[in-house]
Every structure is written in C-alpha cells, then in structure tokens.
Amino acid sequence: MDTEAIVIRIKTPSGDMDSSVDCPSLLNFNDLLVAIRDVMPEATVTAFEYEDEVGDRITVRSDEELKAMLSYYCNTMNEQRMNGLLPDPLQIFPRAGKTPGNRNIHGLKVNTRPNPANDCTHAVPDSIANNSLKKSSAELKRILTNGQINAQDIHYQEQLGHGNGGTVYKAYHVLGKRVLAVKVIPLDITVELQKQIMSELEILYKCDSPYIITFFSAFFVENRISICTEFMDGGSLDVYKRIPEHVLGRIAVAVVKGLTYLWSLKILHRDVKPSNMLVNTRGQVKLCDFGVSTQLVNSIAKTYVGTNAYMAPERISGEQYGIHADVWSVGISFMECFPCSGLISYLLSKLVCSTSQDPPVLHIGQFSEKFVHFITQCMRRHPKERPAPNNLMDHSFIVQYNDGNAEVVSMWVCRCLEERRAQQAQGPI
C-alpha cells in the first residue's frame, strides 16, 4: 500500500472534519475509531463506512477491513492522479451502535494540552498523534464550524506591501492576542464563487509544516476576501540584497522542504518567487501564496497585468506543467542573488524561453560551483531534465546546508533589519 499522506474526511451530522494522515500504513482501526469518537462524543460509534465506486456503503469494523478500505482508496487516488485530478479525500461515515461497547480496548491514553491558537485551554486529544492524524479533530471541528477570526476582531496596523492581487497588512487579532498578516483582495464575484473559494481554501487548514506559512482563517466582507496568516517579522526575500551563500543555502533548504511538503499533498505552488519566501528573526523561512484555490487564482488573474518573470517556459508557452515548473522558479528565484541579478535572470529567462536552449552556466566568483550547478539544473529548458523532488533534496548544495542551523538565518535577518532601521532613521540624504 502507498505510504504517502492521505486526507480522511469524517462525515458527521454537524459537518465534515478533515485530518491528514502522514503514514496510512501505520493507522489502525481502533485509533481511527477514537478519532471519530472525539469529534462525535455524543454518539456511540462502533464502526464506520465508506463508499465504493458505485456508491455502495461498505462497513469497516476491524484492522483487515480498514486495510482493504485504504488499499481501495489508494487505487482510486492513483487513478484520479493519472487523469490529472487532485485526489478527493477519503470519506468515511461513522455508524452509531446501540450499546456503548468496549471503548478503547487497547488502553490508548488521551493526553490533553493547551490549545496554542487561543486563550482557552481547549482539551486536544493526542491519542492519535503518533499515527499522524496531525491536526486534532477537536481543533479542526472548531476551525471548520466557526473559523477562528472575525473581521471585527482585527485591528489593522501598517501596510506591509502591495502585490498584483491585493494588499497585505500587519494586523492584531484581539481575541487571539496575536499579530497577523492579512491579505485583502478585492474580488467582484458571485456568492457562489465566494463559497467555492472558501471551500477550496479549506485545504490550507491541513497544511502543517515549519516551512509553510500558517493559515488561520479567511472570510469575505462585501466584495473583498481577507486571508489571515502568520506574520513574518523579516518580510519577504525580495527586499534583501546580496544574500551571502551560507545564508542562502539554509534558505534554499527550507524552500525545497516547503515545496516537497506541498507536493506531497499534491499541491503545486505555482507562484514560487522571492516575494513569496518569508523570513523571521527566529531564522525560520516559510513559503506563502501557493495556489490552492483555482477559483481565487482565476478571479485574480482577470485583473492581473504583466507577465510573471519567474514562470517556467512551458507555462509561458501554455503547455501542460507540473512540479518541474515549480523547480524552475526555485532556480530563477535564487539566481536573483547574483550581482545585477534582476537583469541577468530576466534576460536568461527570455533567452531560454525563446530559443529552447538551456541557460549558459554562470560562474560568478562569489558563489560556489555547487550553487551554480543547483541553479543551472533547476533552470534546464526541458522540465524532465530538471531535478525531481527527491533529487532536489539530494543535491550537494542542499545537502551541504541541510544542518538545521537556523541561527545563521536569524542573525542575518536581525542584522539586515537593524541596518534598514538605521538607514530609515538617517532619512533621505
């Protein structure tokens, strides 16, 4: 059976609860039952069902039946993928029995820990954490039924930046007592499309990686959508000049890990570029603005002007594209760190797109051969010749800097921010 992550959607009378399971082969029937009982404490659930390809319900009451269900689901998932579709979650329908039965016969312990997302100490069951049902179902229930953030609880502070789609603000969430980044995008669309976007964005609740920006909530007010995420106090990479290689190496490792995580969820980033790579003074590097909502991307595209300089040639020419297009964008994003970068990367990208040649190998004194090789490989004209996800992690440039040393990035971000503050204090000459 496949060992890749899957999403299980528990269908309950009060709504759907999604949980991501990193390693389905480790999941057992009893763990899943405990998870279901956590989200339906009022019912006595003894089994659950899933639907086969013709819509017949099949009951699962044991580990063997669970295995059969997972293997059926993995086949369906593979088929959907071969047809170019993102796999649907595995839907299960809890079945309530008449008697309480023997609950938790394997004596699994339920730990509780404070919920970091808000002040109240919400009991979060941890019993299934080892089997990687990552976000606890109680937490998911709270998120899905009510979203965590309401417009009236947000106090907007300064504007952080403005992109093609909308404007990003630093803001304070009064109830959660935390600083947020809120991206506000004006969208003149129907209520139906708004609903579709909200449902497409639900996958963001499941993203749980140190290399991906944490998503808190999204909501529409009139014709604007607000997307609330974690605030990164170092901002985006595009405003940093001349990043030294030992820093850039650690940043590249985080970017590759973030993308590998998204790809494992079958999400293409589609907009890898320095302004979508964020850093903070703790030395963390996280990706943001990946295109999970087709409808949102399409709606923004209607007002989008200009071309995206980081797009892979196959995308620009309207061919089919996949993970390798993200890999291209990684290469060209890091090429920006060369001196005179903007111009060089722009010209190279034009050259590659128009001639169907690979870009020439650049040897620029201050960067190592490994780094130059990494970029050149990512920017191969033909998508299949670019490194595949596993090969990216194994590239010698990435291996060299994959040492978990966040201190390097942290010190560099702090120093750059200090320099920026000092310059601002001096004012214009």
Site of interaction with Mg ion (CB under 5 A): 275-276, 289
Q: Is 160 in the site for ligand ATP (CB under 6 A)?
A: yes
Q: Is 371 in the site for ligand ATP (CB under 6 A)?
A: no
Residue 115 CA: distances (Å) to CA of 135, 142, 403: 11, 11, 30
From candidates 255, 287, 288, 316, binder to ligand ATP by CB under 6 A: 288
Minimum CB–partner distance for residue 158 and ligand ATP (Å) = 10
Q: Which is nearer to Mg ion, 20 or 214 (CB)?
A: 214
331, 312 Cβ separation under 8 angstroms: no
Q: Which is nearer to ligand ATP, 163 or 322 (CB)?
A: 163
Q: Is 127 in the site for ligand ATP (CB under 6 A)?
A: no
From candidates 139, 289, 326, 336, binder to ligand ATP by CB under 6 A: 289
280 binds, among Mg ion, ligand ATP, none (CB under 5 to 8 A by kind): none
Across 130-153, b (16+ Cβ under 10 Å) vs e yields: ebbbbbbbbbbbbbbeeebbeeee
Sheet holding 224-230, edge to edge: 154-162, 167-173, 178-186, 224-230, 215-221
Q: How does DSSP assign 102-123, residue by residue?
A: -TTTT---------TTSSS---
243-272 residues in contact with ligand ATP (CB under 6 A) are: 271
Nearest to 374 by CA among 418, 338, 421, 406: 338
Question: What are the residues whose beta carbons fall under 8 Å from the beta carbon of 284, sequence distance 6 or more?
Answer: 210, 232, 254, 406, 409
From candidates 204, 213, 255, 267, binder to ligand ATP by CB under 6 A: 213
Q: Which is nearer to ligand ATP, 130 or 294 (CB)?
A: 294
φ/ψ region of 15 (left if φ > 0, alpha if ψ in -120 to 50, else beta) reads: left
Q: Is 275 in the site for ligand ATP (CB under 6 A)?
A: yes
Q: Is 163 in the site for ligand ATP (CB under 6 A)?
A: yes
Judged by CB under 6 A, the number of residues near ligand ATP is: 23
CA 348 distance to own-chain centroid: 29
Main-chain phi, psi angles of 162, to 5 degrees: -140, 125
In 52-114 the beta strands, taken as DSSP E runs, fall at 57-60, 90-96
277, 236 Cβ separation under 8 angstroms: yes
Residue 35: its H or E element: helix 29-39
227-246 residues in contact with ligand ATP (CB under 6 A) are: 229-232, 235-236
Distance (Å, rounded) from C-alpha 221 to C-alpha 381? 43
Q: Is 68 in the site for ligand ATP (CB under 6 A)?
A: no
Distance (Å, rounded) from C-alpha 397 to C-alpha 188? 45
- Which pair of tokens denotes residue 365? 């004194």
Q: Which is nearer to ligand ATP, 165 or 249 (CB)?
A: 165
16-45 residues in contact with ligand ATP (CB under 6 A) are: none
According to the annotation, is 273 in a ligand binding site? no
Catalytic residue among 18, 38, 271, 326: 271
Q: Is 168 in the site for ligand ATP (CB under 6 A)?
A: yes
Q: Which is nearer to ligand ATP, 43 or 117 (CB)?
A: 117
Distance (Å, rounded) from C-alpha 268 to C-alpha 86? 10
**Bridge partners of residue 90, in order along the sequence:** 8
Minimum CB–partner distance for residue 401 and Mg ion (Å) = 24
Minimum CB–partner distance for residue 424 and ligand ATP (Å) = 16
Binding span for ligand ATP by CB under 6 A among 13-21, 60-68, 274-282, 314-322? 274-282
Distance (Å, rounded) from C-alpha 230 to C-alpha 179? 7
Minimum CB–partner distance for residue 274 and ligand ATP (Å) = 8
Q: Catalytic: 271? A: yes
Q: Which is nearer to ligand ATP, 297 or 364 (CB)?
A: 297
147 binds, among Mg ion, ligand ATP, none (CB under 5 to 8 A by kind): none
Q: Which is nearer to Mg ion, 230 or 289 (CB)?
A: 289
How many C-beta neighbours within 10 Å does residue 122 have? 16
Contacting positions for ligand ATP (CB under 6 A): 160-166, 168, 181, 183, 213, 229-232, 235-236, 271, 275-276, 278, 288-289
Residues belonging to the binding site are: 183
Residues designated as active site: 271
Residue set of the binding site for ATP: 183
